[in-house]
């Protein structure tokens, strides 16, 4: 299960994009998730993120994220109507609580909690998409030109947790082969068994740090100008995806300046569609954001398109 939370190379189209293209696309989705509060727009962004996850063959990974985040989402939906009594459409008049006031549940508070849950779902799914399509080293390499040493520290830090998880599983397997059962015994005995794992993991981490230091010294790190082992080039697929992200961002900013994509929950619920232009802007944004998904489908099933992009 832990392996699903980290990047895995699958040779997919959406993973072959330039890291700058991927960062711009994900940044656009993040900006739109935070800028819009209309439930239709938030739902539309969620649909585009899910389609991108589908194009990256990340259903199982997304399910893992959903299992982890579902209790948090349900908690928001339940708690918000209880602590927020604003709203004219009161569905239930509760008792008077000392130092708190009357506990009322309004339709506006329920809808606001549901909309914010969709926004949270957008952001969590976006991080899932990031882990699926973006190689950590490629992104950090993108920023290493401006801050090489800081990027190196971040790169080593991001590698720490996955490597520790893998090392811990390997140590557990070795201990099980030697007859150690971590589920048997008293609490004190089980703590002692797991403490031995931490001790082995610490020693292994120290050995790995020495190996990294020797590798950096062998590569003459910090002795001169930084060299690049592999260079990433912008290809037609990157230009198309960047154009789609830029178009979606431009349309969204234009819509936000004119009030499209915004929604008033209090004191009374607004109409989801006040103007037909609201639907037009949403459709244009979703169509622009679907460029990587459409190209991924064409790259997979159309040889001519695959050869051109």
pLDDT, tens only, 219-236: 777 777 766 666 677 888
Residues 286 and 149 in one domain: no
- How many domains is the chain partitioned into structurally? 2
Residues 133 and 257 in one domain: yes
Give the pair of three-digit tokens for residue 60: 């199982």
Can you give the pLDDT at residue 52? 94
Whether 227 is covered by a domain: the verdict is no
Residues 71 and 9 in one domain: yes
From the CB of residue 302, how many other CB atoms can be counted at a distance below 10 Å? Answer: 13
Question: What backbone torsions phi and psi does residue 143 show, to the nearest 5 degrees?
Answer: -100, 0
Residues 121 and 23 in one domain: yes
Q: Which residue has the tokens 């063959």?
A: 57
Whether 14 is covered by a domain: the verdict is yes
Residues 156 and 282 in one domain: no
| DSSP code for 145 | T
Can you give the pLDDT at residue 229? 61
C-alpha distance across the termini of the chain, in Å? 34
- Tell me the average pLDDT across 52-80: 86
Q: How far, in Å, CA of 36 to CA of 39, rounded?
A: 8
By the 8 A CB rule, do 265 and 215 touch? no
For the stretch 59-67, contacts whose Cβ atoms lie closer than 8 Å and that sit 24 or more positions apart, written own/partner, are 60/4, 61/4, 61/5, 61/128, 61/131, 61/132, 62/125, 62/128, 64/1, 64/4, 64/5, 65/5, 65/124, 65/125, 65/127, 65/128
Q: Is the overall model pTM greater than 0.75, yes or no?
A: yes
Residues 130 and 255 in one domain: yes
Can you give the pLDDT at residue 252? 94
| DSSP code for 266 | S
Residues 133 and 205 in one domain: no
Closest CA to 29 of 271, 301, 252, 194: 252
Residues 42 and 146 in one domain: no
Q: How far, in Å, CA of 91 to CA of 104, rounded?
A: 8
Whether 191 is covered by a domain: the verdict is yes
Domain that holds residue 100: 2-139+234-308
Residues 127 and 168 in one domain: no
Q: Which residue did the predictor score with more confidence, 275 or 30?
A: 30
Q: Which residue did the predictor score with more confidence, 167 or 285?
A: 285
From the CB of residue 27, how many other CB atoms can be counted at a distance below 10 Å? Answer: 13
Residues 62 and 123 in one domain: yes
- Tell me the average pLDDT across 39-44: 92
Can you give the pLDDT at residue 231? 66
Residues 121 and 238 in one domain: yes
Residues 50 and 118 in one domain: yes
- Tell me the average pLDDT across 34-62: 91
Q: If residue 81 lies in a helix (H) or strand (E), which one and from where to where?
A: helix 59-83
Q: How far, in Å, CA of 65 to CA of 72, rounded?
A: 11
Q: How far, in Å, CA of 122 to CA of 40, rounded?
A: 13
| Residue where a domain terminates, one of 184, 218, 252 | 218
Q: Which residue did the predictor score with more confidence, 110 or 98?
A: 110
Q: What is the dihedral of CA 168, 173, 178, 179, to 10 degrees?
A: 100
Whether 228 is covered by a domain: the verdict is no
């Amino acid at each position: 299960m832990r392996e699903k939370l980290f990047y895995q190379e699958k040779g997919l189209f959406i993973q072959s994009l330039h890291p700058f293209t991927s960062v711009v696309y994900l940044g656009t989705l993040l900006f739109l998730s935070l800028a819009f509060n209309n439930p239709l727009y938030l739902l539309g962004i969620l649909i585009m993120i899910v389609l991108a996850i589908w194009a990256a063959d990340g259903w199982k990974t997304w399910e893992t994220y959903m299992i982890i985040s579902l209790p948090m989402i349900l908690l928001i939906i339940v708690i918000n109507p209880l602590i927020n009594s604003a709203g004219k459409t009161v569905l239930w008049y509760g008792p008077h609580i000392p130092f708190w006031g009357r506990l009322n549940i309004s339709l506006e508070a329920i809808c606001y909690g549901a909309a914010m849950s969709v926004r949270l779902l957008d952001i969590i799914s976006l991080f899932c998409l990031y882990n699926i399509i973006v190689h950590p080293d490629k992104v950090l390499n993108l920023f290493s030109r401006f801050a090489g040493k800081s990027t190196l520290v971040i790169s080593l830090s991001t590698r720490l947790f996955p490597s520790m998880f893998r090392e811990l599983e390997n140590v557990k397997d070795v201990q099980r082969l030697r007859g150690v059962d971590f589920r048997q015994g008293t609490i004190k005995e089980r703590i002692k068994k797991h403490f031995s794992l931490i001790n082995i993991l610490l020693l292994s981490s120290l050995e790995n740090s020495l190996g990294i230091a020797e590798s950096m010294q062998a590569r003459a790190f910090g002795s001169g100008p930084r060299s690049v082992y592999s260079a990433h080039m912008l290809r037609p697929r990157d230009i198309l995806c960047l154009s789609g992200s830029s178009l979606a961002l431009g349309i969204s900013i234009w819509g936000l300046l004119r009030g499209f994509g915004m929604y008033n929950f209090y004191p009374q619920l607004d109409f989801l569609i006040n103007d037909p232009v609201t639907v037009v802007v949403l459709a244009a944004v979703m169509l622009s954001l679907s460029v990587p998904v459409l190209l991924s489908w064409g790259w997979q099933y159309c040889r001519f398109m695959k050869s051109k992009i």
